[in-house]
Amino acid sequence: MIEEKFDAIVVGAGMSGNAAALAMAKRGMKVLQLERGEYAGSKNVQGAILYADMLEKLIPDFRDDAPLERHLVEQRFWMMDDRSHVGVHYRSEDFNEERPNRYTIIRAQFDKWFSSKVREAGATVLCETTVTELARDAHGKVIGVRTDRRDGEIHADVVVLAEGVNGLLGTRARLRERPKPDRVALAVKEMHFVPRETIEARFNLKGDEGVVVEAAGTISRGMTGMGFIYANRECISLGIGCIVADFQRTGETPYGLLDGFKRHPSVAPLIEGSEVKEYSAHLIPEGGYKAIPQLYGDGWLVVGDAAQLNNAVHREGSNLAMTSGRIAAEAIVQVRSRRQPMTAENLSLYKKMLDESFVIKDLKKHKDMPRLMHTNSQNFFLTYPQLLSRAMQNYVRVDGTPKAEKEKLTLKSFVNARSWTGLFGDAFRLARAWR
């Protein structure tokens, strides 16, 4: 049993937990961080893209020694049907800058590095320790944790729950509900290894340049979901995810979906001849603003995926995690500097600060999007991609049909599939949810 008492305990060593632990330790707080994995990162799964701006706020010179894969110079969006894709690609030389904006990373390696910074800042990091329960006093205030490694409780003034999307502690303590099947996606991913030069040739890259492909369409078989392909230095992260309730409803298998994505004629050549070295799966919070639970209480705060802070529209999560962890730490530091207790009232500062940040502002902006995408998944992920593909083929295939007739045919295919009311309704709903 650890007899001493800590200023703060952080549960979990992912993006949000490391950010919180680092920010508090840097301010001289006595921090204990608990992680159930063998090392920080060994249980963490992400695509993964790192957003420099949010990390710079914690570690300004991270580029000196962080294990980064490639800086992104190109973003590709693919709308796929079974044999084709319609793409929007954005590539710019501007992204070849001194301090690049986004990088691909490999989470297990990155998190290990991030954790080393947390230790350097003076926090105590205990791995291979699963927190089993929150310890509370007679008034229900959280005063520490119980773990599976030691008898008894470890006490702290405040507990930061950075336990991930599937966080059990908060649910068991009834601080928040368990994620619902229609508000989380299950994503599966493989790591495909190919020689560095092969990646550069296949993706049109040089040096440390990187590219991201995000794909939607018939690959998700009518479910709400997306595929992704990220170019790392010597491997390609390839995966696909769909809303859990959709898997439940359709009886599709995640590995069947992944297999279909890999066999797609637009994807297969990119990973041809690769050696797969890992297969992973993870839940992604997709409920958006409306799924955000109570964020603080007497003696506790929740950050990152555990708080469902994920921007499903922009596919951003790690930056929201890192930022919420940092802001939680700043709020705690402020309460502490005023020598005030860690009550719900005082810790409400965290929510106030988070509300003013991009984290909540972005989620609020897209608050209706998750529902729209989910209730119209057949249209957005099956019908439209197919229509678009046919329209493009009709447009580019030269076969002697007069152009006016071709255009009329394309329009007719859209109206037949969705009707005028449907088309305008979809456009209107999409615009309103985006606004």
Partner 1 sequence: MSVETSVRVEDKLFYNRYLVDVGHPHIKVRAHTKPTAQLLALLKVCPARCYELNDKGQVEVTVDGCIECGTCRVIGEPSGDIEWSYPRGGYGVLFKFG
At 297 the three-state DSSP class reads strand
Give the one residue of 140, 256, 265, 273 binding partner 1; rule: CB under 8 A.
256
**At 48, is the secondary structure helix, strand, or coil?**
coil
| Smallest separation (angstroms) from partner 1 to the CB of 132 | 8
**Counting contacts by CB under 8 A, is residue 253 touching partner 1?**
yes
Q: How far apart are CA 114 and CA 35, in angstroms?
A: 13
Measured distance CA(226)–CA(33) in Å, rounded: 34
Task: Kindly identify the residues of this chain, within the stretch 296-335, that bind partner 1 according to CB under 8 A.
Answer: none
Report how far residue 37's alpha carbon sits from residue 47's, in angstroms, rounded to the nearest whole number.
19
Task: Check binding of 2 to partner 1 (CB under 8 A).
Answer: no
Query: Least separation, in Å, of the C-beta of 137 and partner 1?
Result: 25
Q: By CB under 8 A, tell whether 282 contacts partner 1.
A: yes
Ordered alpha helix ranges (H), 57-195: 107-120, 168-172
Closer of 10 and 387 to partner 1 (Cβ): 10
The tokens describing 216, both together, are 């939607």
> 14 CB contacts (<8 Å, ≥6 apart)?
40, 44, 111, 162, 164, 304, 305, 321
Residue whose CB is less far from partner 1, 104 or 383: 104
Smallest gap from residue 423 Cβ to partner 1 (A)? 33
Q: What is the dihedral of CA 310, 314, 316, 317, to 10 degrees?
A: 10
Residue 158 or 236 with smaller CB distance to partner 1:
236
CB nearer to partner 1: pick between 92 and 253: 253
Q: Which residues pair with 49 in a beta bridge?
A: 104
In angstroms, how far is the first alpha carbon of the chain from the final one?
53
Q: Report the residue number, 200 or 305, with the smaller CB distance to partner 1.
A: 305
Contact letters (x/-) for partner 1, 93-132, by CB under 8 A? -------------xxxx-x---------------xxxx--
**What residues does 192 pair with on adjacent strands?**
236, 276
166 binds partner 1 (CB under 8 A): yes
Q: Return the range that interacts with partner 1 (CB under 8 A); candidates 36-44, 199-207, 285-293, 322-330.
A: 36-44
Q: Toward partner 1, which CB reaches closer, 149 or 406?
A: 149
Cα 269 from Cα 256, distance rounded (Å): 19
Amino acid 402 reads P
Tokens 């230790």 belong to residue: 119
Q: Determine if 222 is a binding residue for partner 1 (CB under 8 A).
A: no
Residue corresponding to tokens 């995966």: 239
**Contacts to partner 1 from residues 257-276, by CB under 8 A:** 258-260, 263, 276
Check residue 196 for interaction with partner 1 (CB under 8 A): no
Residues near partner 1, by CB under 8 A: 36-38, 41-46, 48, 106-109, 111, 127-130, 147-149, 165-166, 168, 178-181, 184, 186, 188, 190-191, 235, 244, 247-248, 251-256, 258-260, 263, 276-283
